[in-house]
């Protein structure tokens, strides 16, 4: 029945329109201003999807939910609100770089970003950049990268926005954002708060009416941006983001839980921008800090394990425009990384990189880019080396730590080339090829805790890839088909080296290939508008030893968002379907594929000049689809939300 | 407008895909009546499970309990105890023991109250004795749960030292090895079942497997592994005289060698160190230096001169069960079982 509804809903709207097509549709995504030059000018051969502020505020506040419904990225979420990682084009969790105002913020401890710790409403836009981005964004930009951007507006304004919602499972969210500017100054502050009891029902016969237990979470997110335009060629900018999370990790059908997790991340950056004629330079000093504490029993708060890391970053970007068509950018970056934890030896390493990016618009139709980067690593881990030597001596018959290692190879040289050719006004072709990498993390290198020993001789994972994208743009329709191939080697895998000890080695080789189709359609008439965005992906991610699809990579995925606006009202329908998920590497067990639909209506109660009061009613999982997020974690049943957005 | 048709077909095709999902068809196979092997799997990112396999490894029924009862027991399925016509499946994270018919594995009852991280069950006098780690982050709340097998309820508990693991009944006494749970420990408790009095015998660190040979209880002690903050310690094989409850011999491994599995047959102990199996005649006083054979081993059992071994592989794929014939000195052909196989029983 619901399949029919979905088909009819989408079909009727579109067929009803076909005779009325007009050319006045405005592609509202184009209105988004991007300040990241690397995304704007040096990624022309890559697919960049920008989720504007209007999408961010209409969606749920977690990055997990935003990407799940607006991209074909697969999010592996350990229960709603629990830790959540991304698989972009079938790559693993540390192969999606999360980039905060130009800085890679993936954890130094595990190389991943927990997508439930990012509050989307505090950013002005979020960009999804498909494909390799190692040259510009560093370690982990293999499947793609997610860019969290704050934009500075140096013009007179004062804007305030409050979003507040209340919903099922005792979930409340609040976001307040104030932005003030003159032609010299800019200041914005965002405060985000999510609180949920998260005690949803477990659907399905096997769940026997159980509820999600121990799933409460409480997240705060604070975002501050300050800017000062000193004169026509100098500006100072300050960026700050703080996340504080207090979460219990829900139990599952496999295992109950009474644990708790508290983590916080802070990111601060001060920037001096200098721009004169064709020369631009940005000097950045940043400090990233992360800390987690895990409590196996939430009643006993003096018993926990922890990990923390800090990263002090110095970055200098220089951009020179030789002409309107040719520009060159260099990036020098130096990082001083420290980490320690209850199960990680306290260590410190420094690394640096130099990158050169070249962008050339040959004529109206043809653009190409050439980019290179050299990494320079230096690890200072003397204390650990002694420890390691003793381990190696003890286990020398079992482990061959050196088997895969050539230390000299640990400073990868990266490159990328990209071409964008517009054949006609409505058809263009993008091509890019790149070499990317992922550095081993603190856990990989220095773990010294239950069941495992890190391997300080690990080298970086390496990946080579290419993609071709066909773009069609015609009367409000933006359609693209992209094919890609990613070949990754030396992937780090923790393997049992004895019955009690696991250790990471550079061993796995994976090929990812597939294609993606994207559609964005806008049509406006009188006081009505319709907007459909759809994504389809076919993803093969194959371990070259077993020739099997990796676990938690669905072969096919579809997401669709349909919005219909009429005067003060808009109605939307969101849809995601993904294929079966293998959950064991030998494919002996899998989770069935599922489709989830959400629906909602928003209405402007009051709208005068800058002031709007908008009321929204939302229903998620409207068909009560029974599915599991990971093994033994049934997803929430149908749930509702009332939302108020005030702008003044 | 062709694009709308493409889209429409895309979404319609989805509908077809979605409606064509087929369930895994685990066909129900009748349990065999002759002697068979039962493999208990701990599970990991998937549920623990039970496989039933014919002695010649030719017939394999994986996920047997799940198929019969249409439910999964969760993680970690630690062990199975057998008593009369019943089997008791112990799942530690779930704090449950599921009572099933020994042959059909049809669920009869489940014990869910007053257990906390249960590990192993032993039987005597119409009662079950279950070792419990308690809260794994607390060293002081570990206990033995005494189960009334008639009502399947915990009737009392006996407090013991941290990390009670395996247990053996001898006469009216229960011997419990204290591997230490998430910590480390170095003792065997001797519990008088009439009085519930507990006596402790100090051993090497991480005592785990035990076999009773006449009046002698052999205990394998793993020794503290190198990654523990307490520092590495030596392991060994210890012999306790159950008439006096004193240690009568202690044979130590060199530092760096940590034993894991231990079984006994025909006067010989077979134990593993790393991936090697050694044979040790209990009349000897020194340990063998050369191994009988080697292979990845996550669980081991012995029957009629054949060693049965499970390999858990990467703990994210099906493991295997294989045999090693001690007389012919050769390995059989492995068969695939469930995820993270750990214990092998004969029935």
Tell me the pLDDT tens digit for each residue of A577-602: 999 999 999 999 999 999 999 999 99
pLDDT in tens, A559-580: 999 999 999 999 999 999 999 9
Asked if B167 has any chain A CB less than 8 Å from its own CB, the reply is no
Q: What are phi and psi of A410, to 5 degrees?
A: -85, 10
Answer whether B131's CB lies under 8 Å from B144's CB. yes
Are residues A58 and A493 in contact, defined by beta-carbon separation less than 8 angstroms? no
Question: Which of A449, A477, A631 shows the shortest C-beta gap to B46?
Answer: A631
Q: Do A496 and B315 touch (CB under 8 A)?
A: yes
Chain A residues touching B298 at Cβ < 8 A:
499
Q: What is the mean pLDDT of chain A?
A: 88
Which two three-digit tokens encode residue A65? Answer: 């939910």
B95 contacts A7? CB cut-off 8 A = no
Pairing label, strands A96-100, A144-149: parallel
Q: Which of A462, A371, A473 is nearest to A417 (CA)?
A: A371
Separation between Cα atoms, residue A416 and residue A412, nearest integer Å:
13
**At B59, is the secondary structure helix, strand, or coil?**
coil
A532 interface with B at CB cutoff 8 Å: yes
Query: Is pLDDT of A33 > 80?
Result: no
B338 inside 8 A of chain A by CB: yes
> Given CA atoms B247, B253, B257, B262 in this order, what sign does their dihedral have?
negative
Distance from CA of B197 to the nearest CA of A (A): 30
Interchain pair B46, A584: CB under 8 A: yes
Cβ–Cβ under 8 Å, residues A534 and B7: yes
Backbone angles phi, psi at B11, to 5 degrees: -75, -35
Task: Look at residue A180 and give its three-state secondary structure.
Answer: strand
Summarize the confidence of residues B69-74 as an average pLDDT.
94
Q: Which helix (H) or strand (E) holds B15?
A: helix B2-19
Chain B residues inside the 8 Å CB shell of A453: 226-227
Dihedral angle over CA of B287, B289, B293, B294, nearest 10: 100
- Note which residues in 137-176 of chain A have CB less than 8 A from chain B: none
d(CA B215, CA B241): 6
Question: Would you say B272 and B300 are in contact if contact means Cβ atoms under 8 Å apart?
Answer: yes
Helix, strand, or coil (residue B236): strand
Q: Which one, of A361, A287, A271, A338, lies nearest residue A44 by Cα?
A: A361
Check: CB of residue A477 under 8 Å from CB of residue A505: no
Query: What residues contact residue B344 under an 8 Å CB cut-off, 6+ apart?
Result: B37, B38, B39, B40, B299, B300, B301, B308, B309, B310, B321
Nearest in space to A130 (alpha carbons), one of A637, A578, A512, A630: A512
Give the nearest partner residue to A255 out of B7, B11, B75, using CB atoms: B75
Q: Which among A112, A144, A115, A121 is positioned nearest to A39, based on CA atoms? A: A144
Q: What is the pLDDT of residues A401-428, one digit of tens each?
A: 443 333 445 678 999 999 999 999 999 9
Sign of the CA dihedral B182, B183, B186, B187? negative
Peptide bond into B76 cis (omega under 30): yes
In whole angstroms, what is the distance from residue A230 CA to residue A217 CA? 43
Q: Any CB–CB contact under 8 A between B315 and chain A?
A: yes
> Angle at CA A607, nearest 5°, toward A603 and A608?
175
Q: In the 8-state DSSP scheme, what is residue B65?
A: H
Given an 8 Å threshold on Cβ–Cβ distance, is B339 in contact with A584?
yes
Region B146-167 average pLDDT: 97
Closest CB from A7, A390, A586 relative to B11:
A7
The helix (run of H) or strand (run of E) holding residue A539 is: strand A528-543
Query: Which residues on B lie below 8 Å from A21 (Cβ)?
Result: 1
The pair of structure tokens assigned to A378 is 């230096």
Asked if A499's CB is within 8 angstroms of B14's CB, the reply is: no
**pLDDT for res B21:** 35
Q: What residues of chain B lie within 8 A of the CB of A494, using their CB?
A: none
How many angstroms away from the CA of A295 is the closest CA of chain B? 9
Is some CB atom of chain B closer than 8 A to the CB atom of A521?
yes
Sheet holding B268-273, edge to edge: B259-265, B268-273, B276-281, B293-294
- Angle of helix B2-19 versus helix A2-17 axis, rounded to 10: 180
Rounded distance between C-alpha atoms, residue B186 and residue B141, angstroms: 17
The C-alpha of B67 sits at a distance from chain A's nearest C-alpha, in angstroms, of 12
Angle made by CA atoms B140, B141, B147, in degrees to the nearest 5: 145
User: What is the tens place of the pLDDT at every residue in A315-366?
Assistant: 999 999 999 999 999 999 999 999 999 988 888 888 899 999 999 999 999 9
ipTM of the complex: 0.82
- A595/B18 touch (CB, cutoff 8 Å), yes or no: yes
Beta bridge partners of A646: A162, A613
What helix, strand, coil percent values describe chain A, rounded to 5?
Answer: 10, 55, 30
Asked if residue A179 has a cis previous peptide bond (ω within 30° of 0), the answer is no
Note which residues in 53-92 of chain B have CB less than 8 A from chain A.
62, 70-72, 74-76
Q: Tell me, what's the pLDDT at B23?
A: 36
Do the chains contact at A477 and B298, CB–CB below 8 Å? no
pLDDT at res. A192: 96
CB A358, CB A368: distance < 8 Å = no
Q: DSSP character for B282?
A: T
How many other β-carbons are positioned within 10 Å of the β-carbon of residue B61?
22
Q: Distance (Å, rounded) from C-alpha B269 to C-alpha B211?
A: 9
Show the 3-state SS of A470-514: EEEEECCEEEEEEEEEEEEEEEEEEEECCCCCEEEEEEEEEEEEE
In this predicted model, what pLDDT tens digit does every residue of A269-293 receive, in sequence order? Answer: 999 999 998 999 999 999 999 999 9
pLDDT of residue A494: 86
Report yes or no: B113 at the A interface, CB cutoff 8 Å: no
**Phi and psi torsions of A393, nearest 5°:** -65, -45
Cβ A514 vs Cβ A479: under 8 Å: no
Determine, for residues B72 and A206 on separate chains, whether the beta-carbon distance falls below 8 Å. Answer: yes
Contact A330, A317 (CB under 8 A): yes
Task: Report whether pLDDT(B161) > 90.
Answer: yes
> Which chain A positions have a beta carbon within 8 Å of B297's beta carbon?
499
Q: Residue A499: what pLDDT?
A: 60
**pLDDT of A463 over the 90 cut:** yes
Predicted local confidence at residue A191, as pLDDT: 97
Residues B339 and A254: their CA atoms lie apart, in Å, by 14
- In chain B, residues with a C-beta closer than 8 Å to the C-beta of A595 are 14, 18
Residue A469, pLDDT above cutoff 70: yes
A398/B312 Cβ within 8 A: no
CB atoms within 10 A of CB A393: 9
Interface test with A, best of B317, B340, B343 (most A CBs within 10 A): B317
pLDDT at B27 over 90: no
Give the model's pLDDT for residue B28: 40
The DSSP code for A284 is E
């Amino acid at each position: 029945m619901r399949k029919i509804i979905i088909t009819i809903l989408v079909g009727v709207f579109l067929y009803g329109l076909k005779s009325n097509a007009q050319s006045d549709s405005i592609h509202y995504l184009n209105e988004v201003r991007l300040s990241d030059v690397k995304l704007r000018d040096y990624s022309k051969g890559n697919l960049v999807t920008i989720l504007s502020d209007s999408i961010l505020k209409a969606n749920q506040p977690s990055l997990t939910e935003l990407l799940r419904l607006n991209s074909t990225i697969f999010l592996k979420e350990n229960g709603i609100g629990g830790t959540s990682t991304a698989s972009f084009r079938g790559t693993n969790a540390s192969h999606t770089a999360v980039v905060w105002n130009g800085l890679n913020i993936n954890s130094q401890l595990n190389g991943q970003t927990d997508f439930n710790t990012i509050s989307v409403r505090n950013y002005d836009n979020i960009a999804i950049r498909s494909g390799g981005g190692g040259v510009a964004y560093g370690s982990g930009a293999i499947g793609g990268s997610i860019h969290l951007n704050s934009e500075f507006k140096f013009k007179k304004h004062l804007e305030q926005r409050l979003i507040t919602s209340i919903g099922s499972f005792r979930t409340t969210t609040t976001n307040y954002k104030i932005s003030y500017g003159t032609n010299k100054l800019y200041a914005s502050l965002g405060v985000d708060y999510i609180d949920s009891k998260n005690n949803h029902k477990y659907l399905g016969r096997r769940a026997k009416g159980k509820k999600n237990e121990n799933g409460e979470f409480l997240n705060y997110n604070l975002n501050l941006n300050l800017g000062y335009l000193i004169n026509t060629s100098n500006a100072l900018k300050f960026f700050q983001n703080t996340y504080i999370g207090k979460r219990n990790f829900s139990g599952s059908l496999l295992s109950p839980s009474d644990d708790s997790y508290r983590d916080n991340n802070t990111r601060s950056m001060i920037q001096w921008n200098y721009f004169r004629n064709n020369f631009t330079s940005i000097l950045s000093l940043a400090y990233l800090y992360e800390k987690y504490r895990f409590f196996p029993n939430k009643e006993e708060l003096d018993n926990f394990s922890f990990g923390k890391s800090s990263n002090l970053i110095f970055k200098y970007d220089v951009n020179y425009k030789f002409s309107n068509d040719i520009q060159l950018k260099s990036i020098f970056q130096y990082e001083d990384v420290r980490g320690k934890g209850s199960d990680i030896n306290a260590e410190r390493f420094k690394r640096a990189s130099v990158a050169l990016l070249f962008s050339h618009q040959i004529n109206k139709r043809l653009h190409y880019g050439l980019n290179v980067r050299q990494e320079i690593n230096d690890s200072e881990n003397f204390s650990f080396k002694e420890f390691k030597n003793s381990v190696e001596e003890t286990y020398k018959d079992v482990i061959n730590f050196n088997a895969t290692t050539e230390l000299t190879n640990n400073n990868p040289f990266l490159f990328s080339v990209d071409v964008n050719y517009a054949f006609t006004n409505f058809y263009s072709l993008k091509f890019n090829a790149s070499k990317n990498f992922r550095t081993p993390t603190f856990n990989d290198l220095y773990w010294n805790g239950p069941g495992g020993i890190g391997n300080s001789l690990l080298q970086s994972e390496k990946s080579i890839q290419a993609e071709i994208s066909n773009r069609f743009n015609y009367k409000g329709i933006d359609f693209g088909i992209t094919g890609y191939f990613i070949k990754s080697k030396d992937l780090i895998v923790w393997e049992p080296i004895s019955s009690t000890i696991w250790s990471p080695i550079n061993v796995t080789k994976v090929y990812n290939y597939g294609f993606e189709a994207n559609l964005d359609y806008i049509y406006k008439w009188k006081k009505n508008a319709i907007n459909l965005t759809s994504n389809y992906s076919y993803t093969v991610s194959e371990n070259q030893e077993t020739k099997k699809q990796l676990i938690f990579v669905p072969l096919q995925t579809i997401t669709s968002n349909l919005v219909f606006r009429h005067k003060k009202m808009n109605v939307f329908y969101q849809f995601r379907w993904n294929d079966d998920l293998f959950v064991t590497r030998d494919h002996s067990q899998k989770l069935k594929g599922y489709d989830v639909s959400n629906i909602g209506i928003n209405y402007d109660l009051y709208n005068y000049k800058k002031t709007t009061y908008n009321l929204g009613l939302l229903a998620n999982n409207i068909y009560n689809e029974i599915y599991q997020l990971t093994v033994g974690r049934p997803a929430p049943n149908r749930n509702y939300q009332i939302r108020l957005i005030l702008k003044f | 407008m062709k694009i709308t048709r493409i889209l429409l077909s895309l979404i319609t095709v989805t509908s077809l895909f979605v409606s064509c999902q087929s369930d895994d068809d685990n066909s129900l196979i009748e349990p065999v009546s002759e002697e068979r092997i039962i493999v208990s799997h701990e599970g990991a990112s998937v549920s623990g499970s039970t496989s039933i396999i014919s002695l010649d490894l030719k017939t394999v029924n994986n996920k047997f309990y799940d198929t019969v009862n249409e439910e999964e027991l969760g993680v970690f399925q630690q062990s199975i105890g057998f008593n009369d016509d019943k089997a008791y499946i112990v799942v530690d994270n779930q704090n449950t023991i599921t009572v099933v018919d020994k042959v059909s594995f049809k669920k009869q009852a489940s014990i869910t109250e007053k257990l906390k991280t249960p590990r192993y069950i032993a039987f005597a006098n119409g009662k079950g004795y279950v070792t419990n780690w308690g809260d794994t982050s607390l060293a002081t709340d570990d206990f033995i749960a005494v189960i009334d097998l008639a009502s399947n309820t915990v009737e009392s508990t006996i407090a013991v030292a941290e990390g009670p693991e395996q247990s053996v009944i001898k006469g009216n006494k229960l011997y419990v090895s204290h591997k230490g749970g998430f910590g480390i420990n170095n003792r065997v408790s001797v519990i008088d079942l009439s009085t519930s009095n507990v006596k402790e015998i100090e051993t090497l660190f991480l005592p785990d497997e035990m076999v009773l040979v006449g009046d002698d209880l052999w205990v394998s002690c793993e020794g503290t592994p190198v990654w523990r903050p307490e520092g590495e310690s030596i392991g060994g094989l210890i012999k306790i005289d159950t008439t006096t409850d004193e240690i009568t011999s202690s044979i130590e491994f060199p530092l760096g060698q940590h034993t894991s599995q231990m079984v006994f047959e025909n006067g010989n102990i077979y134990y593993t160190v790393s991936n090697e199996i050694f044979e040790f005649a209990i009349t000897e006083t020194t340990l063998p230096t050369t191994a009988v054979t080697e292979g990845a081993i996550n669980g081991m059992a012995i029957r009629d001169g054949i060693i049965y071994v499970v390999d858990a592989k990467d703990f994210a794929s099906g493991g295997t069960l294989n045999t090693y014939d001690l007389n012919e000195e050769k390995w059989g052909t492995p068969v695939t079982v469930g995820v993270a196989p750990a214990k092998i029983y004969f029935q």
